[in-house]
Structures are given as C-alpha cells and as structure tokens.
Amino acid sequence: TGRQFDTIILDPPKFAHSQGDIERATRGYKELNRLAFLLLRPGGYLATFSCSGLVSAELFQKVVFSALADSGRDG
C-alpha cells in the first residue's frame, strides 16, 4: 500500500517457550522487525519488545540491528 508510519510499537507474544525455540524465535523477531523498519517513515520511531526471557537483551539487540541492516534502512 505504500503506507508509512511515524511510530511503530512491536510487542509480540512470547516466541521462545524453551531453549529449543530460541533459534526460531530470533528468526521471527528479525523478520518482524525488518518488516517494521520498511514501514517506518524516515526519522520515525520503532519501539520493539521481547517478552521471551530465554532471548537475552544482548541477543535481541543483535537481532534488531541485523533486521535494520537487512531492511536497507538507516538507523
């Protein structure tokens, strides 16, 4: 549709319920964030969250930065 947004809030449900889910969860977080970056207007704000306690803050940050790089957008 070509729509873009000034602010996007991503607060998905828990993606990782066990250690075995972490890889799948990080792929899901990456794709969700990549798509959000594509919908974000330049200069906009993305607030993104993970309630999966098994996905560390450090890993989540790496996933989000990787999603940004894959989106081809600037941070």
pLDDT, one tens digit per residue, over 6-43 is 999 999 999 999 999 999 999 999 999 999 999 999 99
Q: Which of 66, 74, 75 is nearest to 32 (CA)?
A: 66
Residues with catalytic roles: 51
pTM: 0.92
CA dihedral 64, 68, 69, 72 (to 10 degrees): 160
Phi-psi region of 50 (alpha: psi -120 to 50; beta: other; left: phi over 0): beta
pLDDT, one tens digit per residue, over 43-73 is 999 999 999 999 999 999 999 999 999 999 9
